[in-house]
Amino acid sequence: MPSVLNEAVKLPCGLVLPNRLAKAALAEALAGSENTVTPTLLKAYERWGRGGWGAILTGNVQVDVNHLGQPYDPALHGEYTGKAGNEPLLARWTSYATAVQQQHGSPGIVQICHPGRQSVRFAGRRGVFASTLAPSAIPLQIGEGFLARGLAWLLFPAPREMDQADIDRVVRQFADTARLMADSGFSGVELHGAHGYLIDQFLNAKTNKRTDAYGGSAEKRAKFLLDIIHAVREVVPAGFAVGVKLNSADHNSSTFEETMTQIGLLAEAGVDFLEISGGSYENPKMLGLDAPKSERTLAREAFFLEFARETRQRFPSLVLMLTGGFRTRAGAESAVQQNVCDIIGLGRPAAIDPDLPKVFLDDGLEDEQARLVLGRVPMPALARLLPFKGVGAGLESNYYAAQIKRFAQGLRTIAPGL
Protein backbone atom coordinates (compact mmCIF):
# COMPACT_ATOMS: atom_id res chain seq x y z
CA MET A 1 0.00 0.00 0.00
CA PRO A 2 1.49 3.38 -0.97
CA SER A 3 2.64 5.58 1.88
CA VAL A 4 0.48 8.55 2.87
CA LEU A 5 3.68 10.54 2.35
CA ASN A 6 3.34 9.91 -1.38
CA GLU A 7 0.14 11.96 -1.59
CA ALA A 8 0.19 15.32 -3.36
CA VAL A 9 -0.57 18.53 -1.47
CA LYS A 10 -2.31 21.44 -3.18
CA LEU A 11 -1.69 24.88 -1.68
CA PRO A 12 -4.40 27.57 -1.76
CA CYS A 13 -2.54 29.47 -4.51
CA GLY A 14 -2.85 26.40 -6.75
CA LEU A 15 0.73 25.16 -6.45
CA VAL A 16 0.82 21.35 -6.17
CA LEU A 17 3.54 19.58 -4.20
CA PRO A 18 3.99 16.07 -5.65
CA ASN A 19 4.43 14.50 -2.20
CA ARG A 20 4.43 15.45 1.49
CA LEU A 21 8.20 15.49 2.08
CA ALA A 22 9.86 18.91 2.01
CA LYS A 23 13.54 19.62 2.23
CA ALA A 24 13.47 22.21 5.01
CA ALA A 25 15.62 25.33 5.03
CA LEU A 26 19.23 24.86 6.11
CA ALA A 27 22.17 27.25 6.43
CA GLU A 28 24.37 26.39 3.45
CA ALA A 29 27.14 29.02 3.95
CA LEU A 30 27.89 28.74 0.22
CA ALA A 31 27.22 32.25 -1.11
CA GLY A 32 30.82 33.38 -0.69
CA SER A 33 32.08 36.82 0.26
CA GLU A 34 29.99 38.40 -2.48
CA ASN A 35 26.76 37.01 -0.94
CA THR A 36 25.43 35.83 -4.25
CA VAL A 37 24.62 32.65 -6.17
CA THR A 38 27.78 30.56 -6.53
CA PRO A 39 28.58 27.41 -8.54
CA THR A 40 28.81 25.34 -5.33
CA LEU A 41 25.42 26.56 -4.16
CA LEU A 42 23.95 25.58 -7.52
CA LYS A 43 25.53 22.13 -7.37
CA ALA A 44 24.06 21.53 -3.91
CA TYR A 45 20.56 22.36 -5.11
CA GLU A 46 20.96 20.40 -8.33
CA ARG A 47 21.71 17.43 -6.08
CA TRP A 48 18.64 18.03 -3.90
CA GLY A 49 16.65 18.59 -7.09
CA ARG A 50 17.26 14.95 -8.05
CA GLY A 51 16.11 13.68 -4.67
CA GLY A 52 12.37 13.38 -5.28
CA TRP A 53 11.29 16.03 -2.77
CA GLY A 54 7.73 17.33 -2.70
CA ALA A 55 9.17 20.81 -2.15
CA ILE A 56 12.64 22.25 -1.70
CA LEU A 57 12.98 25.20 0.66
CA THR A 58 16.22 27.13 0.34
CA GLY A 59 18.28 28.43 3.19
CA ASN A 60 18.02 32.07 4.17
CA VAL A 61 18.11 34.65 1.42
CA GLN A 62 18.56 37.93 3.27
CA VAL A 63 16.53 40.89 2.03
CA ASP A 64 19.33 43.38 2.82
CA VAL A 65 23.02 42.66 2.24
CA ASN A 66 23.83 45.11 5.04
CA HIS A 67 22.16 42.84 7.59
CA LEU A 68 23.11 39.17 7.35
CA GLY A 69 22.51 36.33 9.76
CA GLN A 70 25.76 34.66 8.67
CA PRO A 71 28.66 36.05 6.62
CA TYR A 72 28.00 33.79 3.61
CA ASP A 73 24.24 34.17 3.20
CA PRO A 74 22.96 35.10 -0.27
CA ALA A 75 21.26 38.48 -0.18
CA LEU A 76 19.57 41.23 -2.14
CA HIS A 77 22.14 43.96 -2.78
CA GLY A 78 19.78 46.82 -3.52
CA GLU A 79 16.35 47.79 -4.73
CA TYR A 80 14.84 45.47 -7.33
CA THR A 81 12.70 47.35 -9.83
CA GLY A 82 11.75 44.55 -12.21
CA LYS A 83 13.18 42.61 -15.13
CA ALA A 84 14.07 45.60 -17.31
CA GLY A 85 17.61 46.78 -16.61
CA ASN A 86 18.32 43.92 -14.18
CA GLU A 87 19.15 41.18 -16.66
CA PRO A 88 22.48 40.05 -15.07
CA LEU A 89 20.90 39.89 -11.61
CA LEU A 90 17.90 38.00 -12.95
CA ALA A 91 20.15 35.55 -14.81
CA ARG A 92 21.97 34.62 -11.59
CA TRP A 93 18.79 33.93 -9.66
CA THR A 94 17.18 32.16 -12.62
CA SER A 95 20.11 29.72 -12.61
CA TYR A 96 19.31 29.05 -8.95
CA ALA A 97 15.63 28.40 -9.67
CA THR A 98 16.58 26.11 -12.55
CA ALA A 99 18.95 24.12 -10.35
CA VAL A 100 16.26 23.65 -7.72
CA GLN A 101 13.23 22.71 -9.75
CA GLN A 102 13.06 22.90 -13.49
CA GLN A 103 14.90 19.67 -14.29
CA HIS A 104 13.10 17.38 -11.84
CA GLY A 105 9.84 19.08 -10.88
CA SER A 106 10.23 19.74 -7.15
CA PRO A 107 8.78 23.21 -6.45
CA GLY A 108 11.42 25.61 -5.13
CA ILE A 109 10.42 27.92 -2.28
CA VAL A 110 12.88 30.58 -1.13
CA GLN A 111 13.12 31.37 2.57
CA ILE A 112 13.53 35.15 2.78
CA CYS A 113 14.68 36.77 5.97
CA HIS A 114 15.95 39.80 7.87
CA PRO A 115 17.96 38.90 10.99
CA GLY A 116 17.25 42.09 12.91
CA ARG A 117 19.22 42.12 16.15
CA GLN A 118 20.59 38.62 15.37
CA SER A 119 22.90 39.99 12.69
CA VAL A 120 26.46 39.15 13.69
CA ARG A 121 28.77 42.17 13.94
CA PHE A 122 31.05 40.86 11.18
CA ALA A 123 28.27 39.78 8.82
CA GLY A 124 26.86 42.26 6.33
CA ARG A 125 28.04 45.52 4.89
CA ARG A 126 26.72 48.03 7.39
CA GLY A 127 30.10 48.23 9.19
CA VAL A 128 31.30 46.49 12.35
CA PHE A 129 30.31 49.39 14.63
CA ALA A 130 26.89 50.06 13.13
CA SER A 131 23.77 49.12 15.06
CA THR A 132 21.48 46.28 14.13
CA LEU A 133 17.74 46.84 13.68
CA ALA A 134 14.99 45.67 16.02
CA PRO A 135 11.44 46.56 17.03
CA SER A 136 12.82 47.64 20.41
CA ALA A 137 16.37 48.35 21.58
CA ILE A 138 16.73 45.13 23.59
CA PRO A 139 20.19 43.55 23.35
CA LEU A 140 20.64 39.86 22.63
CA GLN A 141 21.42 37.68 25.65
CA ILE A 142 23.18 34.41 24.88
CA GLY A 143 23.87 33.28 28.43
CA GLU A 144 24.51 34.25 32.03
CA GLY A 145 27.65 35.73 33.51
CA PHE A 146 30.46 38.01 32.48
CA LEU A 147 31.86 35.76 29.74
CA ALA A 148 28.50 35.37 28.01
CA ARG A 149 27.77 39.09 28.18
CA GLY A 150 31.22 39.88 26.78
CA LEU A 151 30.81 37.48 23.88
CA ALA A 152 27.33 38.82 23.14
CA TRP A 153 28.75 42.36 22.95
CA LEU A 154 31.56 41.17 20.69
CA LEU A 155 29.31 39.30 18.29
CA PHE A 156 26.09 41.32 18.28
CA PRO A 157 26.00 45.15 18.23
CA ALA A 158 23.37 46.89 20.33
CA PRO A 159 20.16 47.12 18.29
CA ARG A 160 18.48 50.38 17.33
CA GLU A 161 14.71 50.68 17.59
CA MET A 162 13.27 50.95 14.11
CA ASP A 163 11.37 54.10 13.17
CA GLN A 164 8.60 54.19 10.58
CA ALA A 165 11.04 54.84 7.74
CA ASP A 166 13.04 51.75 8.75
CA ILE A 167 9.88 49.65 8.86
CA ASP A 168 8.69 50.87 5.48
CA ARG A 169 12.09 50.18 3.93
CA VAL A 170 12.31 46.62 5.28
CA VAL A 171 8.75 45.84 4.17
CA ARG A 172 9.71 47.03 0.69
CA GLN A 173 12.89 44.91 0.78
CA PHE A 174 10.85 41.78 1.52
CA ALA A 175 8.55 42.64 -1.38
CA ASP A 176 11.49 43.34 -3.71
CA THR A 177 13.10 40.02 -2.81
CA ALA A 178 9.87 38.09 -3.36
CA ARG A 179 9.36 39.82 -6.73
CA LEU A 180 12.89 38.88 -7.81
CA MET A 181 12.31 35.26 -6.79
CA ALA A 182 9.03 35.15 -8.75
CA ASP A 183 10.63 36.74 -11.82
CA SER A 184 13.47 34.20 -11.58
CA GLY A 185 11.10 31.26 -11.80
CA PHE A 186 10.82 30.07 -8.21
CA SER A 187 7.45 28.71 -7.08
CA GLY A 188 7.14 30.67 -3.85
CA VAL A 189 8.71 32.29 -0.82
CA GLU A 190 8.60 31.58 2.88
CA LEU A 191 8.75 34.58 5.22
CA HIS A 192 11.04 33.63 8.10
CA GLY A 193 9.09 34.55 11.23
CA ALA A 194 10.89 32.14 13.59
CA HIS A 195 14.28 31.48 15.19
CA GLY A 196 14.51 34.95 16.70
CA TYR A 197 14.87 36.86 13.42
CA LEU A 198 13.30 40.26 12.80
CA ILE A 199 9.72 39.17 12.04
CA ASP A 200 9.77 36.97 15.15
CA GLN A 201 11.15 39.89 17.16
CA PHE A 202 8.09 41.93 16.18
CA LEU A 203 5.68 39.08 16.97
CA ASN A 204 7.15 38.32 20.40
CA ALA A 205 6.27 40.41 23.46
CA LYS A 206 9.71 39.67 24.93
CA THR A 207 11.44 41.63 22.19
CA ASN A 208 8.70 44.06 21.14
CA LYS A 209 7.98 46.77 23.71
CA ARG A 210 6.60 49.31 21.23
CA THR A 211 3.57 51.43 22.03
CA ASP A 212 2.72 52.47 18.45
CA ALA A 213 0.79 50.59 15.74
CA TYR A 214 3.36 47.76 15.82
CA GLY A 215 3.26 46.85 19.52
CA GLY A 216 1.22 46.56 22.69
CA SER A 217 -1.08 43.69 21.70
CA ALA A 218 -0.83 40.42 19.80
CA GLU A 219 -2.67 41.98 16.87
CA LYS A 220 -0.42 45.04 16.72
CA ARG A 221 2.75 42.95 17.03
CA ALA A 222 1.57 41.01 13.95
CA LYS A 223 1.12 44.16 11.85
CA PHE A 224 4.73 44.15 10.57
CA LEU A 225 4.35 40.62 9.21
CA LEU A 226 0.89 41.31 7.81
CA ASP A 227 2.22 44.43 6.05
CA ILE A 228 4.95 42.28 4.47
CA ILE A 229 2.43 39.66 3.31
CA HIS A 230 0.24 42.30 1.69
CA ALA A 231 3.24 44.01 0.04
CA VAL A 232 4.49 40.70 -1.35
CA ARG A 233 1.07 39.74 -2.69
CA GLU A 234 0.93 43.00 -4.64
CA VAL A 235 4.08 42.20 -6.66
CA VAL A 236 3.96 38.42 -7.27
CA PRO A 237 1.68 36.34 -9.52
CA ALA A 238 -1.50 34.80 -8.11
CA GLY A 239 -0.08 31.26 -8.34
CA PHE A 240 3.08 32.14 -6.42
CA ALA A 241 3.10 30.60 -2.92
CA VAL A 242 3.59 32.80 0.15
CA GLY A 243 4.24 30.86 3.35
CA VAL A 244 5.37 31.75 6.85
CA LYS A 245 7.71 29.99 9.27
CA LEU A 246 6.53 30.60 12.82
CA ASN A 247 8.08 30.05 16.24
CA SER A 248 6.41 27.79 18.76
CA ALA A 249 9.15 27.10 21.31
CA ASP A 250 9.30 30.59 22.84
CA HIS A 251 5.63 30.70 23.81
CA ASN A 252 4.48 29.56 27.25
CA SER A 253 0.96 29.15 28.65
CA SER A 254 0.63 32.86 29.39
CA THR A 255 1.30 33.86 25.77
CA PHE A 256 -0.17 30.84 23.99
CA GLU A 257 -3.51 32.49 23.22
CA GLU A 258 -1.72 35.53 21.79
CA THR A 259 0.20 33.24 19.46
CA MET A 260 -3.03 31.59 18.36
CA THR A 261 -4.48 35.04 17.73
CA GLN A 262 -1.55 35.83 15.46
CA ILE A 263 -1.93 32.54 13.60
CA GLY A 264 -5.58 33.39 13.07
CA LEU A 265 -4.55 36.68 11.48
CA LEU A 266 -2.17 34.82 9.16
CA ALA A 267 -4.98 32.46 8.16
CA GLU A 268 -7.20 35.45 7.41
CA ALA A 269 -4.40 36.97 5.33
CA GLY A 270 -4.45 33.86 3.15
CA VAL A 271 -0.97 32.43 3.66
CA ASP A 272 -0.44 29.32 1.56
CA PHE A 273 1.20 27.34 4.33
CA LEU A 274 2.49 27.74 7.87
CA GLU A 275 5.68 26.00 8.91
CA ILE A 276 5.97 25.34 12.63
CA SER A 277 9.47 25.41 14.04
CA GLY A 278 10.98 27.07 17.09
CA GLY A 279 13.93 28.52 18.95
CA SER A 280 16.34 31.44 18.55
CA TYR A 281 20.02 32.26 19.08
CA GLU A 282 19.18 32.76 22.75
CA ASN A 283 17.42 29.39 23.00
CA PRO A 284 18.10 27.18 19.95
CA LYS A 285 15.33 24.61 20.35
CA MET A 286 15.03 24.16 16.57
CA LEU A 287 18.09 21.90 16.85
CA GLY A 288 16.57 19.69 19.53
CA LEU A 289 19.64 19.93 21.76
CA ASP A 290 17.46 19.82 24.87
CA ALA A 291 14.69 17.61 23.50
CA PRO A 292 13.52 15.07 26.10
CA LYS A 293 14.40 11.48 25.37
CA SER A 294 11.38 9.64 26.77
CA GLU A 295 10.07 6.68 24.77
CA ARG A 296 6.87 8.63 24.07
CA THR A 297 8.82 11.56 22.62
CA LEU A 298 11.03 9.33 20.53
CA ALA A 299 7.98 7.52 19.19
CA ARG A 300 6.31 10.69 17.99
CA GLU A 301 9.66 12.23 16.89
CA ALA A 302 8.57 15.80 16.06
CA PHE A 303 9.84 18.47 18.46
CA PHE A 304 6.81 20.76 18.05
CA LEU A 305 4.04 18.22 17.51
CA GLU A 306 1.70 19.32 20.34
CA PHE A 307 1.77 22.93 19.18
CA ALA A 308 0.94 21.78 15.64
CA ARG A 309 -1.90 19.63 16.95
CA GLU A 310 -3.54 22.58 18.69
CA THR A 311 -3.03 24.79 15.64
CA ARG A 312 -4.71 22.19 13.46
CA GLN A 313 -7.72 21.95 15.78
CA ARG A 314 -8.26 25.70 15.70
CA PHE A 315 -7.45 26.32 12.04
CA PRO A 316 -8.30 23.10 10.18
CA SER A 317 -8.04 24.62 6.70
CA LEU A 318 -4.53 26.03 7.22
CA VAL A 319 -1.87 24.00 5.40
CA LEU A 320 0.70 23.06 8.06
CA MET A 321 4.31 22.04 7.61
CA LEU A 322 6.00 20.54 10.67
CA THR A 323 9.79 20.56 10.88
CA GLY A 324 12.15 19.27 13.55
CA GLY A 325 13.00 15.79 14.76
CA PHE A 326 11.60 13.50 12.07
CA ARG A 327 13.97 10.61 11.44
CA THR A 328 11.75 7.71 10.30
CA ARG A 329 9.08 7.07 7.73
CA ALA A 330 6.83 5.66 10.46
CA GLY A 331 7.12 8.84 12.52
CA ALA A 332 6.38 11.05 9.53
CA GLU A 333 3.42 8.92 8.49
CA SER A 334 2.03 9.00 12.02
CA ALA A 335 2.04 12.81 12.11
CA VAL A 336 0.12 12.98 8.83
CA GLN A 337 -2.29 10.18 9.73
CA GLN A 338 -3.11 11.94 13.01
CA ASN A 339 -3.97 15.02 10.90
CA VAL A 340 -1.39 17.06 12.79
CA CYS A 341 0.22 18.39 9.62
CA ASP A 342 0.12 18.19 5.82
CA ILE A 343 3.83 18.49 5.02
CA ILE A 344 6.83 16.92 6.75
CA GLY A 345 9.92 19.11 6.87
CA LEU A 346 13.30 17.35 6.90
CA GLY A 347 16.34 19.53 7.60
CA ARG A 348 19.49 17.91 8.96
CA PRO A 349 18.60 14.49 7.47
CA ALA A 350 18.48 16.19 4.05
CA ALA A 351 22.04 17.40 4.55
CA ILE A 352 23.22 13.83 5.11
CA ASP A 353 21.08 12.13 2.46
CA PRO A 354 19.80 14.41 -0.32
CA ASP A 355 17.92 11.38 -1.73
CA LEU A 356 16.01 10.66 1.48
CA PRO A 357 12.53 10.84 -0.15
CA LYS A 358 13.49 7.89 -2.34
CA VAL A 359 13.99 5.91 0.88
CA PHE A 360 10.85 7.07 2.69
CA LEU A 361 8.66 6.60 -0.39
CA ASP A 362 9.99 3.17 -1.36
CA ASP A 363 7.17 0.69 -0.68
CA GLY A 364 9.65 -2.14 -0.97
CA LEU A 365 11.47 -1.09 2.21
CA GLU A 366 10.34 -2.13 5.67
CA ASP A 367 9.86 0.60 8.27
CA GLU A 368 13.08 -0.41 10.02
CA GLN A 369 14.97 0.39 6.83
CA ALA A 370 13.14 3.65 6.05
CA ARG A 371 14.92 5.77 8.61
CA LEU A 372 18.01 7.92 9.08
CA VAL A 373 19.63 7.84 12.50
CA LEU A 374 21.70 10.89 13.44
CA GLY A 375 23.91 11.20 16.50
CA ARG A 376 25.03 14.36 18.23
CA VAL A 377 27.68 16.53 16.64
CA PRO A 378 30.81 16.18 18.81
CA MET A 379 31.54 19.21 20.95
CA PRO A 380 35.15 20.03 21.93
CA ALA A 381 35.82 19.87 25.66
CA LEU A 382 36.56 23.58 25.88
CA ALA A 383 33.28 24.48 24.17
CA ARG A 384 31.35 22.43 26.73
CA LEU A 385 32.66 24.73 29.45
CA LEU A 386 31.21 27.86 27.87
CA PRO A 387 28.04 29.07 29.65
CA PHE A 388 25.65 29.42 26.70
CA LYS A 389 23.65 27.11 24.47
CA GLY A 390 24.51 28.91 21.27
CA VAL A 391 27.88 27.18 21.09
CA GLY A 392 26.28 23.79 20.50
CA ALA A 393 23.84 25.28 18.02
CA GLY A 394 26.66 26.91 16.09
CA LEU A 395 28.64 23.68 15.94
CA GLU A 396 25.55 21.79 14.72
CA SER A 397 24.86 24.35 12.01
CA ASN A 398 28.48 24.40 10.83
CA TYR A 399 28.68 20.60 10.78
CA TYR A 400 25.65 20.20 8.53
CA ALA A 401 26.72 23.09 6.30
CA ALA A 402 29.98 21.20 5.80
CA GLN A 403 28.04 18.08 4.77
CA ILE A 404 26.08 20.12 2.20
CA LYS A 405 29.36 21.34 0.76
CA ARG A 406 30.66 17.77 0.66
CA PHE A 407 27.81 16.38 -1.42
CA ALA A 408 27.88 19.48 -3.64
CA GLN A 409 31.49 18.51 -4.39
CA GLY A 410 30.56 14.90 -5.06
CA LEU A 411 31.92 13.63 -1.75
CA ARG A 412 30.30 11.20 0.67
CA THR A 413 28.55 12.79 3.63
CA ILE A 414 29.30 11.71 7.19
CA ALA A 415 26.46 11.30 9.68
CA PRO A 416 27.44 12.51 13.16
CA GLY A 417 27.93 9.95 15.89
CA LEU A 418 28.20 7.03 13.47
Interval 257-283 mean pLDDT: 88
Tell me, rounded to whole angstroms, the distance of Cα 357 from its chain centroid.
20
> What per-residue confidence (pLDDT) applies to 287?
43
Q: Which homologous superfamily does the CATH classification assign to the domain defined by 4-408?
A: Aldolase class I (3.20.20.70)
- Residue 322 confidence (pLDDT): 95
Q: Tens of pLDDT along 160-204? A: 999 999 999 999 999 999 999 999 999 999 999 999 999 999 999
- Contact between 182 and 98 under an 8 Å Cβ cutoff? The reply is no
Question: What percentage of the chain exceeds 70 in pLDDT?
Answer: 89
Out of 23-37, 69-83, 119-133, 244-258, which region has the weakest mean confidence (pLDDT)? 244-258
Is pLDDT above 50 for 292? no
What pLDDT was estimated at residue 188?
98
H or E element: which one contains 174?
helix 164-184
pTM (predicted TM-score): 0.93
pLDDT for the residue 143: 72
- pLDDT value at position 150? 80
Q: Is the pLDDT confidence value at 101 over 60?
A: yes
Helix axes 305-314, 256-269, angle to 10 degrees: 60
Q: What pLDDT is recorded for position 247?
A: 87
pLDDT value, residue 298: 40
Cβ 177 vs Cβ 76: under 8 Å: yes
Domain boundaries, the chain: 4-408
